[in-house]
Structure 1
């Protein structure tokens, strides 16, 4: 089974799509696919589909959606290629009914979430080992798996919204570390266009702002670096009643007082504030 969620949703079995077109069955397969190999309780699926007040018919309707998914799975087992054992399997062996819920068996298939996590983890270890070329390469590969926002074409309820937020935070963490690796390699000028977009997209993200300030300063644009700090500070105060972290304030003072040779090598390392909106 192939599971892609880092962008539009695509779930394929033996090369055949088992992704339904109707909104609610898409929610069901998305949640089952994200938690492939784990039991997803009926109550969790009901909350995803209908929130905290599911209708009386929720269980029966969910069973209908499961039957629709099994029909797609049956078609894939009958008509797909690449699985010599497919003819001996049934849909109920792929999408199981278990006590209290349902379980999707992905087998030894691929998942772009798992591949992203594998590459990002290797990139973080390379950062820890100060192998910045390797870290930049691995983290760039990990981020390249994203073709858009996670589950971009899926209607999301409470459960999937939590999953999407988790994935977005993981992506931002990998992006932060990839930018850091590139800064360590002296690529500050090449980063400016990307960081300009990022600080506008995430106007309260302190780490990205610190990296932007450092890239600007090292590119001979001291005034713009200081302006970036003031914009972040004004946004934080207005939106959250917060001042920038001490690490970012220290970077600002370094830019005010120091030459580039004495600036800290790493930008602000304080925890990133969640983006506005």
Structure 2
């Protein structure tokens, strides 16, 4: 089974899509798919679908959703040929193909989506991001940038982009977005170590506009601008961030940002003094 949730929901069994169109059934599948191969308690599914206000028929309705999803799974499994028994034998349990109840498993007080062999974009993202973080720790910046870039390419929009979200999916979407931002931050950091400051300017212009109070992205933008000889613009980025932080959060920039500001100011002053000396000896 192949599972994608970093963007629109897509779940495929044997290459055949199994995601239903009904909103609550998609919501149920999204939670099961995110936790593939792990039991999801019925109480969690009920909480996700009805957010603390379940109808009396909630568990019966949930069972109906499970039956409908199994119908989708069964249709995906139907084209597969049943393997013939071994010559001279009567076959073994391993010969039998998976059925819908083997894919969407009923457990005591829970359901489990058995992914089997296949892919999960979340798990692939987490593996690649972990490799990137370890490369950063080892100062292997080219490897870190490559691994983190590969991880970030798995995202095709916000997590569960076309699924309505209850309490649990909203929390998971927020967690995944934080993980994406962390990977993005570290990839930019790796690229700065590799001297790619000019290549980062366009991207950081967009990111600082989108994340208007994200200090580290603004610090990276200031660094990239200063290293590109655009120190006045770096100072403007700081002033803009400070205005936003004070107005929206009642906070001053962190000491780290203030140290970066002083560094850029000192660098700008030094450059100006050099220009004056050059003019005076010309």
Normalising by structure 2, we get a TM-score of 0.88
- Any idea what SS the aligned residue of 1:96 has? strand
Q: 1:15 to 1:260 in 2, by over 3 A?
A: farther
Aligned to 2:28: 28
Aligned residues: 260
SS at match of 2:111: strand
Q: Which residue of 1 aligns with 2:17?
A: 17
Q: Distance in 2 between matches of 1:152 and 1:222?
A: 39
Whether contact under 8 Å (1:16, 1:80) holds in the other structure is no
Provide the C-alpha distance between the structure 2 equivalents of 1:19 and 1:101, rounded to a whole number of angstroms: 20
Partners in 1 of 2:269 and 2:4 — Cα distance? 44
Distance 1:7 1:214 in 2: 31
Residues 25-54 of structure 1 deviation map (CA, whole Å, 9 limit, x = unaligned): 000000000011111111111111111111
Say which of 137, 160, 178 aligns to 2:146.
137
Deviation at 1:95, TM superposition (A): 0.8
1:109 equivalent in alignment to 2:118? yes
* 218-227 or 170-179, which deviates more: 218-227
1:257 maps to 266
Shift of 1:195: 0.2
Q: Distance in 1 between matches of 2:175 and 2:95?
A: 34
| Partners of 2:231 and 2:268 within 8 A in 1 | no
Q: Hey, what does 2:196 align to over in structure 1?
A: 187
Q: Which of 155, 170, 174 in structure 2 is aligned with 1:161?
A: 170
Q: Is the aligned partner of 1:171 residue 2:180?
A: yes
Residue ranges of structure 2 left out of the alignment (5+ in a row): 85-93, 271-282
Which of the pair has more CA radius of gyration?
Answer: 2
1:110-155 deviation line (CA, Å, top 9, x unaligned) = 1011111111111111111111111111111111111111111111
1:135–1:48 distance in 2 versus 1, CA, 3 Å: same
Q: Deviations over 1:153-198 (max 9, x none)?
A: 1111111001111111111000000100111111111100000000
Instruction: Describe the superposition over 1:45-84 as per-residue Cα deviations: whole angstroms up to 9, x where unpaired.
Output: 1111111111111111111110011111111111258x99
Distance in 1 of aligned mates of 2:55 and 2:229:
62
Matched-pair contact (CA < 8 Å) for 2:131–2:144: yes
Change in Cα spacing, 1:110 to 1:74, as seen in structure 2 (3 Å) is same
| TM-score under structure 1 length normalisation | 0.90
Counterpart of 2:117 in 1: which secondary structure? coil
> Offset at 1:259?
6.1
1:87 offset after TM fit, Å? 5.2
User: Greater CA deviation, 87-96 or 53-62?
Assistant: 87-96
Unpaired runs of at least 5, structure 1: 262-277
